[in-house]
Amino acid sequence: MSLTEPDNASERGPEETPEPGFPEPGLARLLRTPWSGSRPWILPACIALLVLVGVVDSLMVAHLSFWGLYLAPVGCAAWMEGSRAGYGMALVTAMGIVLIEIATGTEVMGRGVMAWNVLQSLAAYSAAAGMVGFLRERMEEGRRFAAIDALTSLPNRGSFIAALDAELSRSNRYGRAFTLAYLDLDNFKEVNDLEGHDSGDQLLKRVAETMRNVTRQSDVLGRLGGDEFAALLPETTFGAAKMVLEKLHKELNLAMEEGRWPVTCSIGAVTFETPVESSREALRLADGTMYAVKRAGKNGIQHAVWDGEWALP
């Protein structure tokens, strides 16, 4: 285990100054679904699908309905880009159907009939777009709630480990150092026992808020369970992490004093210059440094460097 500061210790990655804010870009990546985010090719693809259905419709015999097939581009737009895009596609579809009827001579209609047909089709396809968009939003909300700790709004243990797995892969590929910190609140049980769980909940929320204010937006924070938290600092070397950890420890203790909670914080951190094989191993090493603080009397920081040779005592 190396406790010496490397030559490039001041490196902190592309965001040198910690910035407050939530949600973090790292968290946004964590919550991304296969359909999250706008893709420039989606709407052109939906329009192309609409044109294809329209061409087939115009070539088929009269009275053969293609109404259901027109739902495909509308539903695709609503699912991939949201309800607003679905409504726009519904309007284009409704107008397109009427234009096909006029062009093929299947319907002879006046302006009033044309307007009625457009409005009727628009209402039907808009309803479909609204239902698809609503379903997509509910699924995203469900996925978000499954990934986030309800009390602190930080990623839960499973989500944090998923982010750590991704960072280990990235570090192994590009050879960039990162730091993992494990935080445990000293004497937290006394707050729950003496002041009640409501006070304990307020304390945990204050811890999460303080962590967000001290770290960068690209850092990933997590509540691992109970009074244990973690911070993943991508592209952060020993020296840069040391400054962040010292500020975090100071701000957390100040927050506890302001809340009049008899709680301090023990932080164990490991800067990985060489990535380990798994997130489980990384957490074990960071947890070991945290317990070294506990054994030394709590309320402190233990920070080490993993270079591929360190073994826990």
Q: How confident is the model at residue 204 (pLDDT cuts 50, 70, 90)?
A: very high
Summarize pLDDT for 143-157 with one digit per residue, the tens.
777 789 989 999 999
Same domain, 200 and 84: no
Where residue 263 sits, what CATH number does that domain have?
3.30.70.270
Asked if residue 5 belongs to a domain, the reply is no
Of 25-29, 166-170, 205-209, 251-255, minimum mean pLDDT range: 25-29
Structural domain harbouring 199: 150-306
The arithmetic mean of pLDDT across residues 189-194, rounded, is 89
Same domain, 191 and 104: no
Domain boundary among 100, 123, 147: 147
Q: How confident is the model at residue 303 (pLDDT cuts 50, 70, 90)?
A: very high
What is the identity of the amino acid at 208?
A
List 165, 227, 287, 307, catalytic entry: 227
Asked if residue 121 belongs to a domain, the reply is yes
CA 280 to chain centre: 21
Same domain, 49 and 119: yes
Neighbours of 49 (CB within 10 A): 18
Yes or no: say if 258 and 50 are a contact pair by the CB < 8 Å rule: no
Domain boundary among 82, 116, 147: 147
Asked if residue 36 belongs to a domain, the reply is no
Neighbours of 40 (CB within 10 A): 7
Q: How confident is the model at residue 61 (pLDDT cuts 50, 70, 90)?
A: low
Q: How far apart are the C-alpha atoms of 144 and 185, rounded to whole Å?
A: 26
Structural domain count of the chain: 2
Asked if residue 14 belongs to a domain, the reply is no
Which of 57-61, 262-266, 309-313 is the most confident on average?
Answer: 262-266
Beta-sheet strand order (sheet of 178-186)? 220-225, 228-233, 178-186, 264-272, 301-306
Q: How confident is the model at residue 41 (pLDDT cuts 50, 70, 90)?
A: confident
Summarize pLDDT for 280-298 with one digit per residue, the tens.
999 999 999 999 999 999 9
Same domain, 159 and 295: yes
Q: How far apart are the C-alpha atoms of 84 and 73, rounded to whole Å?
A: 14
Average pLDDT, the chain: 82
Domain boundary among 93, 124, 147: 147
Same domain, 85 and 168: no
Same domain, 82 and 156: no
Same domain, 262 and 154: yes
Q: Tell me: cis bond preceding 40? Omega within 30 of 0 counts.
A: no
Pairing of strands 228-233, 220-225: antiparallel
pLDDT at 30: 47
Same domain, 159 and 282: yes
- Give yes or no: 227 in active site: yes
User: Within 13 Å and on the Cβ side, how many CA atoms surround 195?
Assistant: 16
The arithmetic mean of pLDDT across residues 105-130, rounded, is 75
Summarize pLDDT for 160-177 with one digit per residue, the tens.
999 999 999 999 888 889
Which residues make Cβ contacts (< 8 Å) with residue 23, sequence separation at least 6? 31
